[in-house]
Amino acid sequence: MSEVYPTESGAREEAPLSVSELVSLVGETLASTFPDLLVAGEISNFKEAASGHCYLTLADRESSIDAVIWRNDARRLAFAPAIGDEVLCRGRMGVYSRSGRMQLYVTSMRPTGAGAAQRALEELKRKLASEGLFDADRKRELPFLPRTIGVVTSRAGAALHDVLTTIARRFPRCRIVLAAAVVQGADAPKSIVAALDLLVRFGACDVVIVGRGGGAAEDLAAFNDERVVRAIAAFPVPTVSAVGHEVDTTLSDLAADRRAATPTAAAELVVPVYTELAESVRSLDSRLRGAASRTVRNARHRVGDRAGRLKDPRLLVASARQRADEALLRLERALGDRHRISESVWRSLRERLLDTGRGTCDEATKRVAELDERMQGGMSRRRERASTRFASLRAKLDALSPLAVLERGFSLVSRSDGSFVRVASELDVGETLDLRFRRGRAKARVVETRKEGENS
């Protein structure tokens, strides 16, 4: 509630609103009054900011209004808006607080003019093609004998009747699962996508037919919708698009694995003719039986011919045994001759070796005796020289050894760390010393030190 205050004349009146309060109040009123509305108009001004937000002006012959498309909503547009496009926008009304201008916040937009709609369709086609949804290498082969066929079409349309009668005529043993959908109008894209999702959850289909039974070019808009095209491209089993319009090719036709001009042609694509298939199987069975029979007859003839050319195996065995006996006799004679020759050669070599070995042995024995005598003499002389040198070195060592000094009655004085004491000035009173004699050791403590030349 607004405040009131007294005037100069004493009357009481309502407190004024600030500009920002007024703008906020107007904005709230517009937002609550027009939360969702459709506005048709022509784009007279359009600018896309670096942030991705789009700012435009919608106009007709008499008025214009500013509009804004936020970045996330702009990304979902199926076409690129341009100045001069006639469009239908859905959004809500609001006020730009800084300038106080009323503007439309657009959440979705679609072209209404024929040229703009065709341009939007071409732009969507290029976009989906760049993502690879129409690539030939992603197309899958249709199953040869599908057990279950899914159909997405109107329950009341002629397309369902054509599919059912064609499959019943060609291959009546197939099971058909219908996911009914609206195939024309504003609700058609959402309905077709929901039907495809239902078949995905069903999970037993081997192939799916999506389409309708013909119509004007304007009636095919649902099959050019981005949501429908992406759902067909992402379907887990092969799909056949049967829109029923020979002249125009929809984006669903490009995304599907196969395209059929009519629902009847689609049914002919997914199933073979049962009678033709059965006749083909009977023909192949007959050809197989004939080929097998001829193969058996030919094999029998070859076996009989080769059997007539074979000899009695008993004769072959007897002949082989005789050849083996002859070979054994020849081997025994050859081994006997080889043994006698080897024995004669061995005896001859043995005699020669013995004669040569006796003379060589005598000479070697004599040579060994001479070397032994020389070795004994040399070792004796070397031992004498070594003994003489050892005695000389020992005498020198004894002369230098401190132990020899101890033999003359001296002693060695060392500290606890093992160092020897040479002069008295190195000692401290109270220090413990180690005394070593010729035989034994003793510990001593320093009680007094005197320099050289001092009297006691």
DSSP-assigned letters across all residues of 209-251: EEE-S---GGGGGGGG-HHHHHHHHT-SS-EEEE---SS---H
Examine the domain organization and report whether 183 and 256 are in the same domain. yes
Tokens linked to 185: 């109008």
Instruction: Give the chain's length.
Output: 456
342 domain residue, yes or no: no
Same domain, 113 and 208: no
Q: Per the domain annotation, does 81 fall within a domain? A: yes
Same domain, 31 and 156: no
The reply to whether 312 falls in a domain is no
Q: Quick one: 38 and 64 in the same domain?
A: yes
Indicate whether 118 and 216 sit together in one domain: no
pTM (2 d.p.): 0.47
Tell whether 191 and 290 lie within a shared domain: no
User: How confident is the model at residue 44, as a pLDDT?
Assistant: 85
d(CA 440, CA 446): 20
Give every CB contact of residue 414 below 8 A, 6+ residues apart in sequence.
Answer: 420, 421, 433, 434, 436
Report pLDDT for 365.
76
Which residues face 58 on adjacent strands?
A: 43, 65
Q: Are residues 169 and 220 in the same domain?
A: yes
CA 164 to chain centroid, in Å, comes to 45
Strand partners, 441: 436
Contact 105, 91 (CB under 8 A): yes
Residues of the chain with pLDDT below 50 are: 1-2, 4-5
- The DSSP element (H or E) to which 367 belongs, if any, is helix 313-400
Examine the fold and report which residue of 58, 92, 125 is the final residue of a domain before the chain moves on.
125
Same domain, 233 and 289: no
Matching residue, tokens 């059912």? 164
| Residue 322 forms part of a structural domain | no
Q: Pick the last residue of a domain from 72, 95, 125.
A: 125
pLDDT tens digits, residue range 214-255?
776 667 888 989 999 999 999 999 999 998 666 668 899 999
Asked if residue 166 and residue 285 are part of one domain, the reply reads no
- Tokens at residue 168, please? 């019943």
Residues contacting residue 109 through CB under 8 Å, at least 6 positions apart: 69, 77, 81, 87, 88, 89, 90
Within 10 angstroms of residue 92's Cβ, the number of other Cβ atoms is: 16
**Stretch (H or E) spanning 159:** helix 158-170
Q: Residue 232 sits in a domain of what CATH number?
A: 3.40.50.2300
Secondary structure percentages of the chain, helix, strand, coil, to 5? 50, 20, 30
Between CA 246 and CA 325 the distance in angstroms is: 93
Whole-angstrom CA distances from 187 to 147, 182, 225, 227 are 31, 7, 11, 12
- Looking at residue 348, its pLDDT comes to 80
Within-domain flag for 383: no
How does pLDDT run across 278-320, given as a tens digit for each residue? 787 888 888 888 888 888 888 887 877 776 666 666 666 667 7
Domain boundary among 125, 150, 179: 125
AA letter at 175: R
Tell me the CATH number at 120. Answer: 2.40.50.140
Cβ(180)–Cβ(155) below 8 Å: yes
Residue pair 225/189 in contact by the 8 Å Cβ criterion: yes
Q: Which residue matches tokens 């690879």?
A: 132
Place of tokens 């249709």: 142
Pair (145, 251) in one structural domain:
yes
Q: Which residue, 205, 199, 210, is CA-closest to 147? A: 205
CA nearest neighbour of 199 among 175, 163, 173, 223:
175
Q: Is residue 256 part of a domain?
A: yes
The boundaries of the domain holding residue 264 are: 139-272
Q: Which residues contact 252 (CB under 8 A, 6 or more apart)?
A: 210, 223, 224, 228, 229, 232, 241, 243
What integer pLDDT is reported at residue 1 of this predicted model?
41
Q: What is the pLDDT of residue 406?
A: 66
Domain count along the chain: 4
Domain match, 199 and 226 both: yes
Residues 42 and 145 in one domain: no
375 occurs within a structural domain: no
Instruction: Say if 381 falls within a structural domain.
Output: no
